[in-house]
A and B are shown apart, each in its own frame.
Chain A
Amino acid sequence: MRLPARPGERLNRDREVTFTYDGNAVRAFEGDTIGSALYASGQRIFSRSFKYHRPRGLLCCSGSCPNCMMTVDGVPNVRVCAEPVRENAVVRPQNVWGSLERDALVVTDKLGGPFTPVGFYYRTMIRPRWAWPLYEKFLRSVAGLGKLDKHGTRANRYDVEHRRARVLVIGGGRAGREAAQQHAVAGMQVVLVDEGFVDPLEGVEVVAPGRALGIWEGGLVPVDAGRVLYRFRAEKIVVATGTIEQPLVFPGNDLVGVMLPDGVRRLIEDWGIKPAEKAVVVTVDEAGREAAASLREAGVEIAGVYDLRRERVREIVARGRGGVLRSVEVDGRKLSCDLLVMSGGRQPAYSLLSQAGARVEYDPGRGVFIPTDIPEGIEAVGSVAGEGLAGAVPAASYNGASGKGKCFVCVCEDVTDKDLKRAIAEGFDSIELAKRYTTVTMGPCQGRLCHVPSIRLYARENEKDEATIGTTTARPPWAPVTLGLLAGRPHEPAQRTAIHHRHKELGAKMMWTGTWRRPHSYGDPEGEAQSVHASVGVIDVSTLGKMIVRGPDSAQFLERLYPNRFGDMKPMRIRYGVLNSDAGRIMDDGTIARLDDETFYVTTTSTGAGAVLEWFEWWNAVWGMDVEIVNVTGGLAAVNVAGPRAREVMRKLTDIDLSNEGLAYLDAREAQIAGVPSLILRIGFVGELGYELHFPSPYGEHVWNEILDAGEEFGIRPFGLEPQRILRLEKMHILVGQDTDSESNVLEANMPWIAKLDKDDFVGKWSLEQVQERGLQDLLVGFEMEDGKVPLEGAQVVLEGTRPIGRITSSRWSPELRKAIGMAWVPAAIAEEGKSFLVTVDGGFERATVRLRPFFDPDGEKLRS
């Protein structure tokens, strides 16, 4: 029932807003919340509780409790008491089988008691074991609150915005506003955030509604403003979060019609609603009396006010029908009413301060926990710091000797005083254990209404004081937050080469290599591999890491980092290098081309570029040599033209001497390719005559197109990563990270020739010497399958059907060789040409033969042609 308009109300009675609730239209005013509008229209039951499905009604009207949670426009668990109305919003109840008024699941309240005591899931619905799927199905359908559309995708847009504040004030009440203004007047940039609506404040930026989710290291305070997450970095944080009204614990304290003082005040003053006809007030502080005065003014009959500062009360029992309040008995005296205002005092909302490192101390005189030892950079002002709190200390419960009915400590999780006592009896005697066993404070309110009552009860039952019981750890988020808001926008950093667009046009199947997008193949991996052998193919290898290493000490620098020798490298020659850690483990591999006395061009694996740069820079920082390292990975596109007819294609693109003497295997040469300045590296990962061209990336597409044009008469085909893998495997070329892992070293990985142990100190030398001394244990070898079955990569190598002794790292069917080939780690004893071992394939064993020389062109004649 609406009261006449009053000053200070939040309604704009000139503007009507209509929304639907459970299919029916509800009229409201602008300024209403969905909850206030529903209440004004006569709705009293707002939800059904989590476990017992008891009817629940408005309790706090401040977004603290779970009682008003409904689904709004498909978004579950919205606290409608705080949610502003909007036109055509679709509001539905949740967690009911039937309706709010008639929920079939209320049977758990009437009968479920014996089956659902505290911690029931540790004891019940376990046997018979075969029935578990049925139990599970049932439990899943009744558990939880709101429901999500299982097949939904991003329905809402959530953004993140990074903000800075010289001073961030959290809480827009009296103390927060005062603090904000003081700092603004002193010339500081101030931002004030509040969970609800706040009037503007001069000189202060107000973000409201904006809920601070926690205080993290570095003054980080993320603020939930609905569709935007403001990530604030604040130099100074002022916490003015105020206090939270606490309930009293007595039988029937969860009935619809039992409310906290602030809830009543808001109904009357903010939304002009007469909350009831007849009310009873039980209070430990002034708040209850103020509520009584407000109610009288609104025309509500006050049947009784019990001020627990002045009188002792032993027993309070609220009774109702159908879950709705009808009367209250105080020490035997029965008063009929439809509203019971209970005030158990106000507990400082210290959670944010606690997260930031403050301690919390119990004040027995006031019966609440007060934050202390506030860390530097943070200030607590107002009632959260304990200002202005006066009242009687409530009893742990007003459940008299007779124990009449369920006495709720936690309305979110339906935890009663009996549950807590049972937990203590079972040995869960600390508050942290009690929390985890009973789930008290673990619901939507996160302890706002039940933390202190549960501690008080624990103290009484254990005959200790609250200070000894202590509090549970406060953790972010301070209030429930949508995962979507934390997720933000769906962007994933992805790297693409300058030729990417052409791959898509050519029908490539793209795949991820680390954060690079690369063509897996153009639809025919085996055919693509074959065309490299038969004629010529081209692959985009722009993803390779590329660095210029220049300086008087550059050769010495590389000699110290790699096991190879570089000092004796002639200009415009290339070497294959394997980078080792100081533990002698393989980190990365690539080519090193010497461009002149002081300049080297180093390539790395596609996913290793960043790590190798870091590694190089670190050693340079330690050694301080005269060398500069410049990362040009994205600056150069690179393509590899490979196959017996590669030279003929190259002849059409450049003028330089491409004869086998003019540009020999492992030679480097600078040249213009299709009018673009390039570096040609004659190397051969795929085992055929090949030229790797490196040139400025803006010409990626141009050079690619020119190559395809020039190669058309030779049947050139682009090839992707999958055919490249087949080809390199035919040559037994390792892939770091595929054939090696974090323990592999070059001696055991089939490349002993790389480690020049007669060199001076290089990174990893000592460890490799130790490996040599210890003796090689497992070696990386090639193998071919006897019966042509391709084992899975990761399949186990087994010795005569007994135990696993090694594993397959790479395996493929080679269309060129018409064999199943691969590489594997095997014990040194069988790492000899011709020895055989068994491999797990399809649940059985197949025989493989060890091969130590490349399967294709073992002498490398094609490469050097």
Chain B
Amino acid sequence: MSGLAFLSPGRASAEAVWCSPLARALEGAPPDVGDLSQTGKIEIRGDLPKSVKGGELNRITPNRGLVLCDFGKTVELLEKLSQDYFAVDVTATLAGLSVRGEQLMRRITDLDLDALPAAGAVSHIQALVTRDGDSFALWFGQEYSDYLAEVVIDAWEGLRE
């Protein structure tokens, strides 16, 4: 069974240079906005467990979830999860953007911020939104990095005025 190794950035050698478009787009951004892209992300399909050791499980449907973990542990966790589930390394597929502040979030999405984590639209694109107190994280297609960074920084500026 193909391990789909070509999906895993964690399998690259040390000479390979990691470049996150989101990090570049967030250069000079205010502290309320940050890049979380170098987080391990694994999509699992199957009858989801209650929790995943070594990772944070976010349920999207009863049979589909996104596990977030330390980047360095991704390949190991992927192998472990592959024993019981169909697990795919989506570390490179999704960018992660941290946003601090409820009002800032309300400028970019109409999702119910008291019903997170949730998968839905943030500024017209698909995202998984997680929450930890007043801090939020947006997980979305990395190809939208420049776009979403622009939107969030601009919204932050709008609140300053």
Chain A residues close to B by CB (< 8 Å): 157, 159-164, 231, 233, 489, 491-498, 500-501, 516, 548, 550-551, 595-599, 628, 630-636, 670, 672, 674-679, 694-702
Contacts and interface: CB of A to CB of B under 8 A. Distances in A.
Interface in B1-52: 1-2, 4-9, 11-21, 24, 37, 43, 45
A726 to B, nearest CB: 26
Contacts of B141: 495, 633-634
7 contacts: A493-B124, A495-B143, A495-B147, A516-B143, A635-B94, A696-B7, A697-B92
B79 to A, nearest CB: 14
Contact of A698 (B2, B18, B109, B143): B18
B123 interface: yes
B106 to A, nearest CB: 5
Nearest to A164: B112
Contacts of B2: 595-596, 599, 670
B110 interface: yes
A681 to B, nearest CB: 11
A696 B9 contact: yes
A702 B144 contact: no
B17 to A, nearest CB: 4
B90 interface: yes
Given A233-B110, A677-B6, A678-B6, A632 B90 contact: yes
Given A595-B4, A679-B6, A701-B19, 9 more contacts: A492-B147, A494-B144, A495-B143, A501-B24, A548-B7, A630-B90, A634-B93, A636-B6, A675-B16
Given A674-B15, A694-B6, A630 B88 contact: yes
B19 A494 contact: no
B142 A635 contact: yes
B125 interface: yes
Interface string B104-133: 001101101000000000011100000000
Nearest to A502: B19
B118 to A, nearest CB: 14
B154 interface: yes
A231 B110 contact: yes
A828 to B, nearest CB: 42
B109 to A, nearest CB: 6
Contact of B106 (A162, A494, A674, A677): A162
B140 to A, nearest CB: 9
B11 A677 contact: yes
B8 A677 contact: yes
Given A157-B161, A489-B154, A491-B150, A696 B6 contact: yes
Contact of B8 (A497, A516, A696): A696
A548 B107 CA distance: 35
Contacts of B158: 157, 159, 489
Contacts of B15: 674-675
B155 A159 contact: yes
Nearest to B38: A698
A498 B146 contact: no
A161 B143 contact: no
Contacts of A633: 93, 141, 143
B13 A672 contact: yes
B7 A489 contact: no
A492 B124 CA distance: 9
A635 B41 CA distance: 11
Interface residues of B, number: 53
Given A161-B107, A493-B124, A498-B19, A628 B86 contact: yes
* Most chain B C-beta atoms within 10 Å of own C-beta, residue among A516, A596, A632: A632
Contacts of B58: none
* Most chain A C-beta atoms within 10 Å of own C-beta, residue among B14, B37, B142: B142
B6 A695 contact: yes
B86 A698 contact: no
A697 B9 CA distance: 8
Nearest to B109: A162
Contacts of A161: 103, 106-107
B145 interface: yes
A628 B125 CA distance: 23
Nearest to A631: B93
B107 A699 contact: no
Contacts of A699: 9, 12, 16-19
B151 interface: yes
A696 B92 contact: yes
A219 to B, nearest CB: 12
B146 to A, nearest CB: 5
A722 B68 CA distance: 40
Contacts of A701: 17, 19
A163 B106 contact: yes
Closest 10 interchain pairs by CB? A635-B93, A675-B13, A162-B110, A696-B9, A595-B2, A696-B92, A495-B143, A679-B6, A635-B92, A702-B17
Contact of B147 (A233, A494, A700): A494
A697 B89 CA distance: 12
B12 A700 contact: no
* Most chain B C-beta atoms within 10 Å of own C-beta, residue among A162, A164, A597, A636: A162
A636 B146 CA distance: 17
Given A233-B110, A501-B24, A632-B90, A677 B123 contact: no
A20 B47 CA distance: 70
B12 A493 contact: no
A163 B107 CA distance: 9
A700 B2 CA distance: 23
A833 B40 CA distance: 56
Interface string B43-75: 101000000000000000000000000000000
A698 B154 contact: no
Nearest to B154: A489
Nearest to B159: A159
A670 B5 contact: yes
A634 B143 contact: yes
Contacts of B43: 630
* Most chain A C-beta atoms within 10 Å of own C-beta, residue among B6, B103, B155: B6
Contacts of A676: 12-13, 16
B142 A628 contact: no
Given A636-B6, A670-B5, A677-B11, A700 B19 contact: yes
B21 A498 contact: yes
Contacts of A695: 6
Nearest to B24: A501
Nearest to B11: A677
B90 to A, nearest CB: 6
A161 B109 CA distance: 8
Contacts of A548: 4, 7, 88
A697 B142 contact: yes
A692 to B, nearest CB: 12
Nearest to A497: B143
Nearest to A491: B151
A789 B81 CA distance: 61
Nearest to B104: A161
A633 B125 CA distance: 15
Contact of A496 (B93, B110, B143): B143
A632 B12 contact: no
A826 to B, nearest CB: 39
A485 to B, nearest CB: 13
Contacts of B150: 491
Nearest to A635: B93
B5 A632 contact: no
A698 B110 contact: no
Contacts of B12: 675-677, 696, 699
B142 A634 contact: yes
A674 B21 contact: no
Given A163-B106, A501-B24, A548-B88, A670 B147 contact: no
